[in-house]
Amino acid sequence: MRTVLVTGPGGAGRTTVAAATALAAARAGLSTLLVSADAVPGFPTGTEPTEVTDGLRYARIDSGAHFRSELVALQDRASGVLGLLGANRLDGEELTELPGSAQLALLHTLHRAAAGDWSDDGTDVLVVDLPPLYEALAVLALPEHLRRYLRRVLPQERQAARALRPVLAQLAGVPAPAQWLYEAAARKDTELASVQALIENEATTVRLAAEPGTAAWDTLRTARTGLALQGLRVDALVATRVLPRHSADPWFAGLAAQQEKCLGHWAQEWPGMLHEAAHLGHDPHGPDDLALLGDLAPDDRAPGRADDPWWIEDTTPEGTAPEVSGDPSGRTLVWCLPLPGAGKKDVHLVRRGDELLLTVGPFHRIVRLEPGLRRCTVSGAALTGGVLRVRFTPDPALWPRTRERFTPFG
């Protein structure tokens, strides 16, 4: 399934671009599903996929309904514990969604779409209208973060030792976690894994929508770093509400000139990705208006897990590499990650056990190191040419002393 995740600065018309992308895909003969938390003018409303036109269905995300159903289900599974505590149940009618529920509802929607819950015949193209750019980047990073939290808080080895829980409970003097808690965590991890696989698929791309101007220019420049940090692939930058050039009106011509200057910079920063959607003179309403924005159908991409955005280089001078793993001294391995637009003052790096904690401006990611790098110490880092390079030096104490050749990634 081809997936297009549409986002951009707030108010730039990302919902319109998402709808136009979905319509173009449907008119190309592809079965297309558009999901959005916002209403699309001229489209039918409903939380279940509803046909808009031939080949195009649209579903609106209801975060409030999702929050209520999830909390009611949680109370049902934890009824025994709640009863022991003397807690009173909350009815669905009295529940008001809490901050963060919209993001979780979006992840659940992506899971349903990836699982094919909404189509018996399969969906060729999934178009997702994401929140504004910075929030969207945080949402797309959530599956990886939440799965890490679940592994730390409820590791599988504890679940495997459930036969010992009564004994451990007596020794510790506190009740052990109930089986339903581990089962709920396993279900949630499976759901998050499917969403993470969808995001990391080679056939999934991010499409940016932005109105040419100074504010959008700055936002995209910063977000470009976040996209690279997460390994997200951008397939297009759609410039929205582009004004006609060469107007006789001085005020109108001045605005068009500002847009044209910004478009020139975007064409250089995003080569081959820039698409212009003309200003219609009114807000687009319905399929006919969306068709006037141009052919925004996504390109074809083969499915499969995308490569990691980082790579590893062996910078040991030729002829000086040791022949055996028992003597790794003299070898230097470099972990490389492209971070276009990042400044040295924005990058912070921490090695924590087998993980690398990266902070680049407002963006954060935790990367699990390759097996070979886990047996190394960090000997330095530099940001040059838009690429972060972290140098690792093998720790002789951690390398097996055998007469085998030195294989740093084994």
Question: In this structure, is residue 53 part of a structural domain?
Answer: yes
Residue 164 has what pLDDT?
52
Whole-angstrom distance, CA of residue 325 vs CA of residue 399: 6
Closest CA to 97 of 67, 131, 120: 67
Packing angle, helices 101-115 and 133-153, rounded to 10: 80
Which domain CATH number covers 325?
Answer: 2.60.40.790
Cβ atoms of 259 and 213 closer than 8 Å: yes
Which domain CATH number covers 241?
Answer: 3.40.50.300
Question: In this structure, is residue 100 part of a structural domain?
Answer: yes
Closest CA to 42 of 31, 54, 53, 28: 53
Question: In this structure, is residue 32 part of a structural domain?
Answer: yes
Q: Which bin fits 13, alpha (ψ -120 to 50), beta or left (φ > 0)? A: left
Residue 106 has what pLDDT?
94
> Does one domain contain both 247 and 375?
no
> Does one domain contain both 101 and 31?
yes
- Pairing relationship of beta strands 311-314 and 333-338 according to DSSP bridges: antiparallel
Question: In this structure, is residue 21 part of a structural domain?
Answer: yes
Whole-angstrom distance, CA of residue 262 vs CA of residue 254: 13
The token pair at 286 is: 């319905």
Q: Under 8 Å CB-to-CB from 6, ≥6 apart: which residues?
A: 14, 15, 17, 18, 21, 127, 128, 129, 130, 206, 207, 208, 209
Degrees, nearest 5: CA angle 253-255-257? 70
Cβ atoms of 33 and 46 closer than 8 Å: no
> Does one domain contain both 74 and 222?
yes
Question: In this structure, is residue 296 part of a structural domain?
Answer: no
Range of the domain at 163: 2-291
Residue 165 has what pLDDT?
56
Residue 251 has what pLDDT?
87
DSSP 42-102: TSPP-SS-EEEETTEEEEE--HHHHHHHHHHHHHHHTHHHHHHHTPPPPPGGG--PPTTHH
> Does one domain contain both 280 and 327?
no
> Does one domain contain both 27 and 142?
yes
> Does one domain contain both 129 and 239?
yes
Cβ atoms of 4 and 128 closer than 8 Å: yes
> Does one domain contain both 48 and 137?
yes
> Does one domain contain both 98 and 154?
yes
pLDDT tens digits, one per residue of 352-392: 999 999 999 999 999 999 988 998 999 999 999 999 999 99
Q: Which residue has the tokens 């959607």?
A: 277
pLDDT tens digits, one per residue of 149-185: 988 888 866 655 555 555 545 544 445 556 777 788 8
pLDDT tens sequence for the chain (410 residues): 999 999 999 999 999 999 999 999 999 999 999 999 999 999 998 888 999 999 999 999 999 888 888 888 878 877 766 676 777 788 888 888 888 899 999 999 999 988 887 776 778 999 999 999 999 999 999 999 999 998 888 886 665 555 555 554 554 444 555 677 778 888 899 999 999 999 999 999 999 999 999 999 999 999 999 999 999 999 999 999 999 988 888 888 899 999 999 999 999 999 999 999 999 999 999 999 999 999 999 999 888 888 889 999 887 665 444 443 444 556 789 999 999 989 999 999 999 999 999 999 999 999 999 988 998 999 999 999 999 999 999 887 776 654 334 344 44
Residue 170 has what pLDDT?
52
> Does one domain contain both 331 and 271?
no
Residue 302 has what pLDDT?
84
> Does one domain contain both 336 and 239?
no
Name the domain count of the chain: 2
> Does one domain contain both 317 and 198?
no
> Does one domain contain both 194 and 280?
yes
Cβ-based burial of 160 (10 A; exposed 0-12, middle 13-18, buried ≥19) = exposed
Cβ atoms of 219 and 210 closer than 8 Å: yes
Question: In this structure, is residue 303 part of a structural domain?
Answer: no
